[in-house]
């Protein structure tokens, strides 16, 4: 499992480049935590060995 916090300066790095890289290396689970939008996207490998649509968790609190 890999957990990334989105950088406000380069969000495409987490949402596109790293997602593609982790899919290539078959990382079973990848979380993208976005504190600006207060959501978490959770990508999991499906039965075919690729990421489908993420589970989305919204409105979490950072303490």
Rounded Cα gap, residues 13 and 21, in angstroms: 10
User: What is the structure's pLDDT at 9?
Assistant: 85
Cβ–Cβ < 8 Å for 39, 59: yes
Domain assignment present for 14: yes
Question: By residue range, what is the domain housing residue 25?
Answer: 2-58
Query: In the chain, how many domains are there?
Result: 1
pLDDT in tens, the chain (63 residues): 999 999 888 888 878 899 899 999 999 999 999 988 889 999 999 999 999 999 999 976 655
Kindly report the pTM of this predicted structure: 0.83
Domain assignment present for 24: yes
Domain assignment present for 27: yes
Domain assignment present for 36: yes
User: What is the structure's pLDDT at 24?
Assistant: 93
User: What is the structure's pLDDT at 13?
Assistant: 83
Domain assignment present for 63: no
Domain assignment present for 8: yes
């Amino acid at each position: 499992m890999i957990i990334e916090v989105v950088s406000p300066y380069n969000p495409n790095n987490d949402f596109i480049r790293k997602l593609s890289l982790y899919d290539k290396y078959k990382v079973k689970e990848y979380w993208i935590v976005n504190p600006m939008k207060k959501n978490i996207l959770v990508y999991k490998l499906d039965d075919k060995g690729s990421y489908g649509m993420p589970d989305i968790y919204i409105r979490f609190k950072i303490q």
